[in-house]
Amino acid sequence: MGDHHHGPAKGLSRWLFTTNHKDIGTMYLWFSFAMFILGGAFAMIIRAELFQPGMQLVEPAFFNQMTTLHGLVMVFGAIMPSFVGLANWMIPMMIGAPDMALPRMNNWSFWILPPAFLILASTLFMEGGAPAFGWTFYAPLSTTYAPPSVTFFIFSIHVLGMSSIMGAINIIATVMNMRAPGMTYMKMPLFVWTWLITAFLLVAVMPVLAGAVTMMLMDIHFGTSFFSAAGGGDPVLFQHVFWFFGHPEVYIIILPAFGVVSQIIPTFARKPLFGYDSMVYATASIAFLSFIVWAHHMYTVGMPVAGELFFMYATMLIAVPTGVKVFNWVTTMWRGAMTFETPMLFCMGFLVLFTIGGFTGLMLSIAPADFQYHDSYFVVAHFHYVMVAGAVFSMSAAVYYWLPKWCGKMYSETMGKTHFWISFIGFNITFFPQHFVGLAGMPRRIPDYALQFADFNMMSSIGAFIYGASQILFLYNVIATIVSGKPTDKEKVWEGAEGLEWTVATPAPYHTFERPPAVR
Amino acid sequence: MVLKAKRLCKLALGPVLMLLSLASAGALAASSKVNEVNMPPGVTEVGQRIYDLHMLILWICVVIGVLVFGVMFYSIYHHRKSRGVTPATFHESTKVEIAWTVVPFLILIGMAVPATSTLLEIYNTDDAELDVLITGYQWKWKYEYINEDGENVEFFSNLRTPQTEIYNAEAKGEHYLLEVDEPMVIPVDTKVRLLLTANDVIHSWWVPELAVKKDAIPGFINEAWTQASEEGIYRGQCAELCGKDHGFMPVVVNAVSQEEFDSWLADKQAKAAEIRELMAQTFTMDELMERGKAVYERNCLACHGANGEGGVGTAIAGSAIATGPVSGHLNVGINGVPGTAMQAFGGQINDVEMAAVITYQRNAFGNNMGDMVQPIDVYNHKNG
């Protein structure tokens, strides 16, 4: 134990062999940002092609590759790893643990990610092109009719599924075993709670996704007919399996975001979270409901009416715990003493836009109306309101909130706020008009469109370029803070912040809580 | 401080404006088709019910939104540290939590009632007076009118917008991408049952104004129905990603009077008989080339290129198949190439068209084979 208090190793080996939760968290965060830029670049190509009616820049086949890779990279490469990175950094510090429970597996679960995405990105240069069947890869378009690169896509999904499962097991083991004495479950910060529940969702559904892609692999290479009607299989089975993974997946993305917002709003309202217990129960209810609503993505596949009704009622129910959350956040703000630093602004943006996304979600849950909304741009608008304004905004809030703790330097408030306002305006110019074109009849995933949709699409594209540019500003802000931010050594960076992470030194030392803290 | 307040006002204004614009969607709906912002109520009773349901839920959401955001922005404005307030410390209230669980639940029940009855109506395909089998192909629709006494009428419906418009060489027409060579025709005020399936991948048949969207899935036959109350041409598109030309397979439905429909159907049946007669004819090279060019442009060009140079499909100019034996060429055209995007066209185009397009491919793009294929050759090939 002589070298117990060592610092980080030097050079590249620090990053390759590290078992330190902070190093691994940092790598996850940078990796996910790189993927965010890559996925964003794909989105820019999509929006540039859709700037005007007619085919201008790319061919329809390549356009489909872009929509597919944009979705896959954003969901699996940007949003999910970013929250895993945040979990790595914050969970041990929030529960008073010295590190994650399984540090070597932690290293492994990060380091298999970059090769997986390298494989996925390499499909762009393969004969027949990259996967072009959408991020939901419905069979048989993704099996019998897929380009040869689909096999690489399947392998890549398997690898990043393994990464997610290992990450989730690690979080469960850490939260269950490594809480400081006195840190009972009902004293854990909400970010820890939401991640614990998320981790259970991950362990439950990632193997289902692995099953789906394995069946695809068998259909493509080993002569089975799971999804091929000609061989006695069932193409709709694919959708059931996929969405049994896919619906919990969207809560995997949004629950940690709820956690972040539940940490930040009380800090800047200088008032405790209104209903801690009910927030925990609401999170658990949402997680439970996520398992019994998958077929609301499939209202138009021709289910029996009884099934249709069951999934409609169950889906509508989600509005109840989600409403509880929103009401709790607003009540937390009520009669607080608020200030609006960048993290709080992003949370306010989250609250408004996520709620709008929730409203459209409720509209989509109504099966008869969904017959008109389904597979239209209305759906595209809906999920970008929850994925971007929900997950990405809260992630931006988290970075600004904890960055001073991570690197001991303050970001520029002016730059942070500029980033927020450009993002907020750009985001709404991009996605709000998509509600209109969707309702008016524009299907999603088309490379070209009828003339009556032209103006709103141009608006949408302009907004997308603004939003895209604002993320470069984000990158600049983070680098500028790390390089030349104003140093701070206040343990409690924010006046109203509560929690163990604000009791350690700033910047957070390489090892924290080697002795468990006392939790009252 | 003034600056800050201004910013907050901006923060408040954005979403409110957006909500208002979404709310005014209904009012604007009637004005024009271009830049339409709302769902069309369409020309069916079900469509009207769906529209009413949509507006009901939209307005409930708007009201809840105004309340929640109202409280939020009141709080943002009044409960700021810069106004010198001290934060309250209250938290936890079981009564409040129960209230904001129960009230939304009751509102949801209020929504579920009309939603359920509308859904049951959508699912009621009984007592249809006309059945049409719709088959999705990459990337076109086939319509088959099922006729209990007499022959079925069937035809394909392809995108009519020329490539020159899509690639911006020509000005785009009024119905750019929403026009087909042969629309589906239905009689008004008649309950038409749609039976949907697909030949290759999953497609989805969507016409907003007829309030029908249903997936067409290989191996399944889905049911839907519509009953148009007004004559007119209704346009929609494939809604499920189905490959390269997903964006280029529109649906056009022409709703006409019963008399007009009857004469159209009789006309179709006569034409089918005419084709059967043509099958027995022998054509000249020029006739075959002229017909073949048209068939090529409709069915082959998207993958094999305007000059047979290839693309998604292999090149036809100078290809071993098009310059090889006729039987091999016919085999590919009729049966397709399994495991590739090359479909079996034997069931999609008639024997006259097949003969013409094979002849065309063998004598165009520099393939000067000089040989001809007659409909009887296609027939013989198909029947061994």
- Give yes or no for residue B13 having a pLDDT over 50: no
- Give yes or no for residue B86 having a pLDDT over 60: yes
SS3 state at B263: helix
Give me the residues paired with residue B136 across strands. Answer: B141, B198
Place of tokens 């104003």: A486
Q: Residue A4's pLDDT band (boundaries 50, 70, 90)?
A: low
Residue A519 lies in a domain: no
Q: What is the predicted pLDDT for the residue at B26?
A: 41
What's the full length of chain B, in residues? Answer: 384
Is A511 among the catalytic positions? Answer: no
Q: In the listed set B277, B299, B320, which residue is the last one of a domain according to the structure?
A: B277
Are B191 and B315 part of one and the same domain? no
Are B271 and B294 part of one and the same domain? no
Q: Residue A312's pLDDT band (boundaries 50, 70, 90)?
A: very high
A-chain residues near B24 (CB < 8 A): none
**Which of B86, B104, B312 minimises the CB distance to A320?**
B104
Q: What is the predicted pLDDT for the residue at B339?
A: 65
A-chain residues near B197 (CB < 8 A): none
Residue A349 lies in a domain: yes
- Rounded distance, CA B60 to CA A428, Å? 22
Rounded to 5 degrees, φ, ψ at B187 are: -80, 145
Q: What is the predicted pLDDT for the residue at B351?
A: 86
Q: What is the predicted pLDDT for the residue at B5?
A: 47
Residue A6 lies in a domain: no
Q: Which of A313, A359, A429, A435 to mutate to test the interface with B (most CBs of B within 10 A)?
A: A359
CATH number at residue B335: 1.10.760.10
- Rounded distance, CA A233 to CA A159, Å? 27
- Give yes or no for residue B29 having a pLDDT over 50: no
B-chain residues near A452 (CB < 8 A): 33-36
Catalytic residue among A18, A82, A164, A376: A164
Count of other CB atoms within 10 angstroms of residue A516: 16
Instruction: Give A20 to chain B, closest Cα distance, Å.
Output: 37
Catalytic residue among A179, A296, A409, A435: A296
**Which chain B residue's Cα is nearest to A326?**
B68
SS3 state at A478: helix
How many structural domains are present in chain B? Answer: 3
Cβ–Cβ of A369/B239 closer than 8 Å? Answer: no
Are B222 and B272 part of one and the same domain? yes
CATH number at residue A382: 1.20.210.10
Cβ–Cβ of A316/B112 closer than 8 Å? Answer: yes
CATH number at residue B206: 2.60.40.420
CA B356 to centroid of chain Cα atoms: 30
The angle at the Cα of A154, spanning A150 to A160, to the nearest 5 degrees, equals 140
Catalytic residue among A444, A467, A494, A512: A444
- Give yes or no for residue A201 having a pLDDT over 60: yes
Are B112 and B201 part of one and the same domain? no
- Rounded distance, CA A77 to CA A6, Å? 32
Is A484 among the catalytic positions? Answer: no
The reply to whether B176 touches chain A by the CB within 8 Å rule is yes
- Give yes or no for residue B32 having a pLDDT over 70: no
Which B-chain residues 210-239 have CB contacts (< 8 A) with chain A?
A: 211-215, 217-220, 222-223, 235-239
Are B147 and B272 part of one and the same domain? yes
Token pair recorded at residue A166: 């290992």
* Range B55-75 average pLDDT: 96
**Which chain B residue's Cα is nearest to A63?**
B244
Residue A162 lies in a domain: yes
Catalytic residue among A23, A49, A219, A249: A249
User: CB neighbours of B125 closer than 8 A, spacing ≥ 6?
Assistant: B193, B223, B224, B225
Q: What is the predicted pLDDT for the residue at B9?
A: 46
Token pair recorded at residue A486: 């104003």
Are B193 and B99 part of one and the same domain? no
Cβ–Cβ of A316/B108 closer than 8 Å? Answer: yes
Token pair recorded at residue A124: 């762009």
Cβ–Cβ of B91/A317 closer than 8 Å? Answer: no
Cβ–Cβ of B76/A333 closer than 8 Å? Answer: yes
Cβ–Cβ of A141/B101 closer than 8 Å? Answer: no
Q: In the listed set B122, B141, B160, which residue is the last one of a domain according to the structure?
A: B122
The reply to whether B17 touches chain A by the CB within 8 Å rule is no
- Rounded distance, CA A79 to CA A395, Å? 8
Instruction: Give B108 to chain A, closest Cα distance, Å.
Output: 7
The reply to whether B304 touches chain A by the CB within 8 Å rule is no
Are B139 and B259 part of one and the same domain? yes
* Range B115-134 average pLDDT: 95
**Which of A141, A274, A447 minimises the CB distance to B202?**
A141
Q: CA–CA distance from B288 to each of B158, B285, B295, B355 (Å)?
A: 21, 5, 10, 7
The reply to whether B13 touches chain A by the CB within 8 Å rule is no
- Rounded distance, CA A277 to CA A266, Å? 15
Are B138 and B16 part of one and the same domain? no
Instruction: Give the closest residue to A474 by CA, choosing from A394, A420, A428.
Output: A420
Least confident of A397-406, B12-21, B27-36: B12-21
Residue A172 lies in a domain: yes
Q: In this predicted model, what pLDDT tens digit does every residue of A266-289 receive, in sequence order?
A: 999 999 999 999 999 999 999 999
Cβ–Cβ of B119/A308 closer than 8 Å? Answer: yes
Are B136 and B266 part of one and the same domain? yes
Q: What is the predicted pLDDT for the residue at B346?
A: 81
- Give yes or no for residue B6 having a pLDDT over 80: no
Q: CA–CA distance from A159 to each of A155, A163, A165 (Å)?
A: 6, 6, 10
Q: CA–CA distance from A116 to each of A119, A122, A215, B199, B221 (Å)?
A: 5, 10, 20, 34, 39
Own/partner pairs for B365-372, CB < 8 Å, 24+ apart? B365/B307, B365/B308, B365/B309, B365/B316, B365/B317, B365/B318, B366/B317, B366/B318, B367/B308, B367/B316, B367/B317, B367/B318, B367/B319, B367/B322, B367/B323, B369/B322, B369/B323, B371/B326, B372/B283, B372/B285, B372/B288
Are B139 and B255 part of one and the same domain? yes
Q: Residue A115's pLDDT band (boundaries 50, 70, 90)?
A: very high
Residue A13 lies in a domain: no
**Which of A302, A428, A439 minimises the CB distance to B14?**
A428
Query: What is the DSSP code string of A375-434?
Result: TBHHHHHHHHHHIIIIIIHHHHHHHHHHHHHHHSEEPPHHHHHHHHHHHHHHHHHHHHHH
- Give yes or no for residue B41 having a pLDDT over 80: yes
Place of tokens 């969901």: A75
Is A262 among the catalytic positions? Answer: yes
* Range A23-47 average pLDDT: 97
**Which of B34, B172, B241 minimises the CB distance to A141?**
B241
Average pLDDT, chain B: 87
Catalytic residue among A247, A271, A409, A419: A247
Are B27 and B105 part of one and the same domain? yes
Q: What percent of chain B has pLDDT over 70?
A: 91
Q: In this predicted model, what pLDDT tens digit does every residue of A439-494 receive, in sequence order?
A: 999 999 999 999 999 999 999 999 999 999 999 999 999 999 999 999 999 999 99
Cβ–Cβ of B104/A319 closer than 8 Å? Answer: yes
* Range A142-169 average pLDDT: 96
Quote the DSSP letter at residue A10.
S
Residue A15 lies in a domain: no
- Give yes or no for residue A29 having a pLDDT over 90: yes
* Range B107-128 average pLDDT: 95
CA atoms within 13 A on the CB side of A432: 22
Cβ–Cβ of A455/B35 closer than 8 Å? Answer: yes
Q: What is the predicted pLDDT for the residue at B18?
A: 52
Q: In the listed set B233, B254, B277, which residue is the last one of a domain according to the structure?
A: B277
- Rounded distance, CA A204 to CA B142, Å? 42
Is A240 among the catalytic positions? Answer: no
**Which of A138, A273, A368 minimises the CB distance to B53?**
A368
- Give yes or no for residue A378 having a pLDDT over 50: yes
The angle at the Cα of A246, spanning A240 to A250, to the nearest 5 degrees, equals 150
**Which chain B residue's Cα is nearest to A139?**
B201
Q: In this predicted model, what pLDDT tens digit does every residue of A159-185 receive, in sequence order?
A: 999 999 999 999 999 999 999 999 999
Cβ–Cβ of A54/B75 closer than 8 Å? Answer: no
* Range A340-363 average pLDDT: 97
Q: In this predicted model, what pLDDT tens digit does every residue of A41-55 receive, in sequence order?
A: 999 999 999 999 999
Cβ–Cβ of A372/B39 closer than 8 Å? Answer: yes
Q: What percent of chain B has pLDDT over 90?
A: 57
Range of the domain at B364: 281-383
- Rounded distance, CA B205 to CA B238, Å? 5
Q: What is the predicted pLDDT for the residue at A5?
A: 57
Residue A11 lies in a domain: no
Q: What is the predicted pLDDT for the residue at A2?
A: 42
Q: What is the predicted pLDDT for the residue at B298?
A: 87
Residue scoring higher pLDDT (A257 or B149): A257
Is A488 among the catalytic positions? Answer: no
User: Rounded to 5, what percent of chain A is helix, strand, coil?
Assistant: 70, 0, 25
Q: Residue A7's pLDDT band (boundaries 50, 70, 90)?
A: confident
Average pLDDT, chain A: 95
Are B318 and B204 part of one and the same domain? no
Range of the domain at A294: 28-502
* Range A48-72 average pLDDT: 96
- Give yes or no for residue B23 having a pLDDT over 50: no
Is A249 among the catalytic positions? Answer: yes
Is A376 among the catalytic positions? Answer: no
Q: What is the predicted pLDDT for the residue at B137?
A: 94
Instruction: Give the closest residue to A452 by CA, choosing from B169, B38, B185, B159.
Output: B38
Give me the residues paired with residue B226 across strands. Answer: B192
Q: What is the predicted pLDDT for the residue at A483?
A: 96
